Amino acid sequence: MAQAQPVLDISTELIIGDKMTHTGWVPGAFFDPGPAGANQIWDFAALSGSAFLVSREVLPSAGTQFANQYADADYCVRASAGSGPPSFNYFSATDSSVLNFGLAVPGVFREFNLVPFARIYPLTFDSTLKGSYSGIRINNGQTSYFKTNFQVKYDAYGKLGTQENAMRVQTVLTEQDSVPLSGGSYRHIYGEQEYYIWYVAGRRGMQFWTSRYTAMQVTFSAAGDTLSQVPLNPIYVVESVLSGPVSAPEVRPEEADLFKIRSNPVAEWLILEVAAHTAATNLKVHICDMQGKVLRTMYPPADEIALEVYVGDLPAGNYLVQVTIQGRQQTRIWQKSP
């Protein structure tokens, strides 16, 4: 039976406090993700060969090991697998996007996205996002420079095992990585990664993914002559969710959102829409920095639904807005544009 096209929205993103465990393995060849299109049926129950567990935990950025290097991030995903060092992936979120500022692994490498990788929501079936990001990697004191072009496409939907409303997203990354060598020579790595991630509407976090990475390493002399070309061994990875955040329960009116941000980022006026069911008496609005320091406070008139807060004098960056109505309180992140 055909199903309606599910929409991939920001509710599938992990939030602070979430923990997930995946089982993963490195197969001998690329795992076939199946065709694109509508009403697919994916059943990966027969897959075996688990080699490692991956644990992911979403933490506030403040206090994590690389927080100072990723000052614009407000949360990070700490991932660990096996006996190696954990990775720290830094993000910030708005009501309709997630920005990835970079990734760091203690003692191994650090990359910083000069133009943050953006996931924009909502994403409907057959829609595509394209862009690029760049930065540096530091590997045992050796600095390299990279630029990555990406294409993200919501290319299929259907049923994943027993889970309805599954959505598959294909991502293709092409990367150039340049490393200066002694004597003025340098090394380029031209890589391509293709991966597929399955999400399920109403559940946070990826439910299944498979990827392959292929690359060519080329060494140039100081004069620009090619000294060597070496294809690198391809890398294949598969991960399947073992445990993770469960679907949110049905929201009763008294538990629903107190407010929404009408547009984000903003330049001068932050516009908030207060939910009509709250009957907004005893209303208070705080504008705070990312450490929670209150920068300004408003006490709007009772029953006012649309609130306008002037923020044009604040420096560009991420902030918090906190709304309190009849003792209930909710906080959201918003972004001040230059």
| Pairing status of strand 294-298 against strand 259-261 | unpaired
Asked whether residue 194 is assigned to any structural domain, the reply reads yes
- Pair (34, 159) in one structural domain: yes
Asked whether residue 2 is assigned to any structural domain, the reply reads no
Measured CA to CA, the distance from residue 323 to residue 215 in angstroms comes to: 50
Per-residue pLDDT of the chain (338 residues; tens, 9 = 90+): 456 789 999 989 999 989 999 988 888 899 889 999 999 999 887 776 667 889 999 999 998 999 999 999 999 999 998 778 999 999 999 888 999 999 999 988 899 999 898 889 999 999 999 999 999 988 877 889 999 999 999 999 999 988 999 999 999 999 999 988 888 899 999 999 999 999 999 899 999 999 999 999 999 999 999 999 999 999 999 999 888 886 555 444 444 567 888 877 888 999 888 875 555 556 788 898 876 778 888 887 766 677 888 899 999 888 888 887 766 777 777 888 88
| Residue type at 151 in one-letter notation | Q
- Whether residue 97 contacts residue 131, with contact meaning beta carbons closer than 8 Å, is answered with no
The domain that holds 290 is classified in CATH as: 2.60.40.3080
- Pair (217, 294) in one structural domain: no
Asked whether residue 248 is assigned to any structural domain, the reply reads no
**Looking at 214, 243, 272, which one is the last position of a domain?**
243
Domain count, the chain: 2
- Pair (199, 262) in one structural domain: no
Asked whether residue 227 is assigned to any structural domain, the reply reads yes
- Pair (43, 186) in one structural domain: yes
Q: Which residue do the tokens 């567990």 mark?
A: 53
**Looking at 243, 268, 292, which one is the last position of a domain?**
243
Asked whether residue 3 is assigned to any structural domain, the reply reads no
* Count of CB atoms situated within 10 Å of the CB of 168: 25
pLDDT of residue 251: 46
- Coil/strand/helix, residue 37: strand
pLDDT of residue 49: 60
- Pair (209, 309) in one structural domain: no
Q: Which domain holds residue 324?
A: 253-336
**Looking at 225, 243, 261, which one is the last position of a domain?**
243
- Pair (79, 169) in one structural domain: yes
- Pair (202, 106) in one structural domain: yes
- Whether residue 277 contacts residue 259, with contact meaning beta carbons closer than 8 Å, is answered with no
pLDDT of residue 82: 75
- The C-alpha angle 335, 337, 338, rounded to 5 degrees, equals 150
- Pair (134, 232) in one structural domain: yes
- Pair (263, 124) in one structural domain: no
- The C-alpha angle 107, 87, 118, rounded to 5 degrees, equals 125
**pTM summary value:** 0.72
Asked whether residue 217 is assigned to any structural domain, the reply reads yes
Asked whether residue 139 is assigned to any structural domain, the reply reads yes
Asked whether residue 58 is assigned to any structural domain, the reply reads yes
- Pair (57, 159) in one structural domain: yes
- Coil/strand/helix, residue 82: coil
CA 132 to chain centre: 15
